[in-house]
């Protein structure tokens, strides 16, 4: 059946077409101005976007929807002038709604002429694109912060590197120079912390770190963290007061990660306080929560920075003096870890120069059976000599680890690629094989798989050594047949402990 002719827009009269168009285009404000710049028509979209009804706005000045700043710069007149000269003017700017709020609009204004060449008025079409504008600004801010972060990171990496390079030079020229080993150890610890932070930033903030939860006592965690920062506290001549409630507070938590949290807060308190300051750490149970507070009387945090203090890459401005170091991610990671444990963290400061206070709240578990794991296991003294094969293509790393293992009394051989490692493993029959996963010729994974196929080597302990430490990396090395997975640079004390346990 043929549709009634009246339904087709082609058959609508001009008035009807105009009205239907104006009423239905709600995403765009479409309105006309007379030649003097007064608003002459107003569609539904304009009412929705700008908040004025037709009755309220008709006859008012075009400039009423502009911000005072733009009015001060004569923008409304310039826009109409531009349309008159070039036919149309396009722009993006903030506009004002009836309620005084602002929105970012993309607009176009067209001059309307009659056949006699007389200016009759203007047509303006605009759209609210605030969401897009805010997203763009967020993106820009993020990339600005990322660029700044990369600059800070290279700066931070250079500092410990310079320290190590200098110490090596000193040793070359004055082999008997005292304390150089301490310098290298300290700077290496800084480098390790920076690299750990870099890994954490992606893993923790994207939630890729599974928590290894167990019963842990707050007292143990605090004790370890205090030991971790003792050298920094001492070298800054700070006084650290620790106040722990006498009652054992037990948490269901990842001891390593919580220790990292307390480490971060104490390290910051020490870093951002002038020498000789006082730092207070207090842990108590309040209802079903642990309340852990770290307070310092240091440089404090400005009211402007405080609300953003847990954001990634945020640091107080210290363009000239960056000697405090850090990447501006410690507090982000700290907050994520606390949240992953179902807790919260809050920062307080009365302002610059007036100290800071960080408060952590974490749910407490009632200590039912009293069984808790202790974070630090003691090393046992064993003296079994192990035959160890080190498969590592970096000759310096291989040689130094071999010396260290030899100093423990073990027998050590070195292979520099995968196929040499396989061959030597068959001949040497080691008890332990340390395998760098990125070996040339045959990868560390392939070496492990082939060793696991040899019955003579079934009992050998295979340790993967790699720069990659995500749960997926650990799983992959386990699948290939490794017993342990260690991330470079392997803390030697940890390796020593592992070998002692094997012995």
Residue 494, CB-side half-sphere exposure with 13 Å CA sphere: 10
Q: How far apart are CA 184 and CA 170, in angstroms?
A: 11
- With CB atoms as reference, the residue minimizing the distance to ligand ADP is 326
Given 316, 359, 474, 500, the residue binding ligand ADP (CB under 6 A): 316
Tell me the H-state helices in 206-329. 218-235, 255-271
Q: Which is nearer to ligand ADP, 328 or 343 (CB)?
A: 328
Helix (H) or strand (E) holding 424: helix 418-428
Is 272 a binding residue for ligand ADP by CB under 6 A? The answer is yes
- The least distance separating ligand ADP from the CB of residue 230, rounded to whole angstroms, comes to 18
- The least distance separating ligand ADP from the CB of residue 486, rounded to whole angstroms, comes to 26
Q: How far apart are CA 49 and CA 463, in angstroms?
A: 65
Given 328, 343, 430, 444, the residue binding ligand ADP (CB under 6 A): 328
Given 107, 298, 343, 430, the residue binding ligand ADP (CB under 6 A): 298
Is 297 a binding residue for ligand ADP by CB under 6 A? The answer is no
Is 41 a binding residue for ligand ADP by CB under 6 A? The answer is no
Given 39, 240, 327, 462, the residue binding ligand ADP (CB under 6 A): 327
- The least distance separating ligand ADP from the CB of residue 137, rounded to whole angstroms, comes to 22
Residue 466, CB-side half-sphere exposure with 13 Å CA sphere: 22
Is 314 a binding residue for ligand ADP by CB under 6 A? The answer is yes
Is 160 a binding residue for ligand ADP by CB under 6 A? The answer is no
Dihedral angle computed from the Cα positions of residues 308, 309, 310 and 312, in that order, rounded to the nearest 10 degrees? 80
Select from 168-176, 226-234, 320-328, 478-486 the region that touches ligand ADP (CB under 6 A). Answer: 320-328
Q: Which is nearer to ligand ADP, 89 or 269 (CB)?
A: 269
Select from 116-124, 268-276, 280-288, 441-449 the region that touches ligand ADP (CB under 6 A). Answer: 268-276
Select from 198-206, 255-263, 292-300, 450-458 the region that touches ligand ADP (CB under 6 A). Answer: 292-300
Is 299 a binding residue for ligand ADP by CB under 6 A? The answer is yes
Q: Which is nearer to ligand ADP, 47 or 296 (CB)?
A: 296
Is 260 a binding residue for ligand ADP by CB under 6 A? The answer is no
Is 356 a binding residue for ligand ADP by CB under 6 A? The answer is yes
Sequence-ordered list of residues with C-beta below 8 angstroms from that of 153, at least 6 positions apart, any chain? 194, 198, 327
Q: Which two three-digit tokens encode residue 181?
A: 């080993």
Select from 7-15, 299-307, 368-376, 398-406 the region that touches ligand ADP (CB under 6 A). Answer: 299-307
Q: Which residues sit opposite 253 in a β-bridge? A: 214
Whether 432 and 461 have beta carbons less than 8 Å apart is answered as: yes
Whether 106 and 125 have beta carbons less than 8 Å apart is answered as: no
What is the C-alpha end-to-end distance of the chain, expressed in Å? 94
Given 331, 362, 434, 465, the residue binding ligand ADP (CB under 6 A): 331
Helix (H) or strand (E) holding 285: strand 278-286
Q: Which is nearer to ligand ADP, 345 or 499 (CB)?
A: 345
For ligand ADP (CB under 6 A), the number of binding residues is 21
Is 309 a binding residue for ligand ADP by CB under 6 A? The answer is yes
Is 335 a binding residue for ligand ADP by CB under 6 A? The answer is no
Residue 411, CB-side half-sphere exposure with 13 Å CA sphere: 8
Given 217, 219, 260, 268, the residue binding ligand ADP (CB under 6 A): 268
Whether 384 and 500 have beta carbons less than 8 Å apart is answered as: no
Q: Which is nearer to ligand ADP, 300 or 444 (CB)?
A: 300
Classified as helix, coil or strand, 500 is helix
Select from 12-20, 262-270, 399-407, 460-468 the region that touches ligand ADP (CB under 6 A). Answer: 262-270
Is 232 a binding residue for ligand ADP by CB under 6 A? The answer is no
Is 329 a binding residue for ligand ADP by CB under 6 A? The answer is yes
- How does DSSP assign 175-236, residue by residue? TT-TTHHHHHHHHHHHHHHHHHHHHHHHHHHTT------EEEEHHHHHHHHHHHHHHHHHHT
| Bridge pairing between strands 214-217 and 250-253 | antiparallel
Is 425 a binding residue for ligand ADP by CB under 6 A? The answer is no
Q: What is the DSSP letter of 4?
A: P
3-state helix, strand, coil split of the chain in percent (to 5) is 45, 20, 35
Dihedral angle sign, alpha carbons of residues 219, 220, 221, 224: positive
Select from 101-109, 309-317, 411-419, 480-488 the region that touches ligand ADP (CB under 6 A). Answer: 309-317
Q: Which is nearer to ligand ADP, 115 or 321 (CB)?
A: 321
Is 149 a binding residue for ligand ADP by CB under 6 A? The answer is no
Q: Which two three-digit tokens encode residue 415?
A: 């292979």
Is 301 a binding residue for ligand ADP by CB under 6 A? The answer is yes
Interface positions with ligand ADP (CB under 6 A)? 264, 268-269, 272, 296, 298-301, 309, 314-316, 326-332, 356
């Amino acid at each position: 059946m043929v549709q009634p002719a009246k339904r087709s827009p082609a058959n609508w009269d001009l008035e009807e077409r105009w009205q239907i168009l104006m009423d239905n285009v709600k995403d765009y404000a479409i309105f006309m101005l007379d030649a003097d710049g007064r608003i002459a028509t107003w569609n539904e979209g304009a009412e929705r976007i700008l908040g004025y009804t037709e009755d309220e706005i008709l006859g008012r000045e075009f400039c009423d929807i502009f911000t005072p700043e733009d009015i001060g710069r004569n923008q409304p007149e310039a826009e109409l002038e531009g349309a008159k000269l070039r036919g149309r003017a396009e722009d993006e700017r903030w506009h004002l709604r009836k309620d005084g709020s602002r929105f970012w609009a993309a607009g176009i204004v067209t001059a309307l002429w009659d056949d006699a060449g007389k200016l009759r008025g203007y047509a303006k079409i605009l759209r609210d694109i605030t969401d897009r504008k805010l997203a763009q600004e967020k993106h820009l801010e993020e990339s600005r912060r990322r660029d700044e972060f990369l600059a800070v990171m290279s700066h931070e990496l250079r500092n410990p590197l310079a320290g190590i390079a200098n110490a090596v030079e000193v040793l070359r020229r004055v082999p008997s120079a005292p304390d150089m080993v301490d310098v290298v150890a300290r700077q290496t610890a800084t480098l390790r912390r920076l690299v750990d932070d870099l890994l954490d930033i992606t893993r923790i903030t994207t939630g890729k770190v599974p928590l290894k939860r167990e019963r842990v006592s707050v007292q143990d965690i605090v004790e370890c963290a205090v030991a971790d920062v003792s050298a920094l506290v001492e070298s800054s001549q700070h006084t650290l007061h620790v106040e722990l409630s006498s009652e054992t507070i037990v948490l269901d938590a990842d001891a390593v990660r919580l220790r990292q949290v307390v480490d971060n807060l104490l390290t910051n308190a020490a870093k951002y306080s002038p020498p000789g300051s006082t730092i207070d750490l207090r842990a108590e149970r309040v209802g079903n929560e642990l309340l852990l507070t770290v307070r310092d009387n240091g440089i404090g945090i400005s009211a402007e920075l405080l609300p953003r203090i847990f954001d990634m890459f945020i640091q107080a401005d210290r363009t000239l003096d960056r000697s405090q170091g850090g990447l501006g991610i410690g507090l982000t990671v700290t907050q994520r870890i606390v949240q992953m444990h179902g807790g919260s963290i809050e920062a307080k400061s009365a302002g610059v120069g007036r100290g800071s206070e960080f408060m952590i709240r974490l749910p407490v578990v009632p200590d039912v059976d009293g069984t808790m794991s202790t974070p630090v296991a003691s090393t046992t003294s064993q003296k079994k000599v192990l035959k160890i094969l080190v498969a590592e293509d970096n000759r310096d790393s291989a040689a130094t680890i071999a010396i260290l293992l030899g100093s423990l009394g073990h027998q050590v051989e070195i292979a520099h690629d995968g196929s040499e490692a396989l061959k030597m493993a068959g001949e040497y029959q080691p008890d332990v094989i340390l395998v760098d996963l990125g070996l040339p010729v045959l990868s560390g994974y392939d070496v492990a798989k082939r060793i696991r196929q040899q019955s003579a080597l079934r009992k050998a302990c295979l340790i993967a050594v790699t720069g990659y430490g995500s749960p997926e990396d650990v799983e992959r090395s386990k699948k290939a047949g490794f017993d342990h997975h260690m991330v470079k640079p392997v803390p030697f004390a940890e390796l020593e402990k592992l070998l002692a346990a094997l012995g």
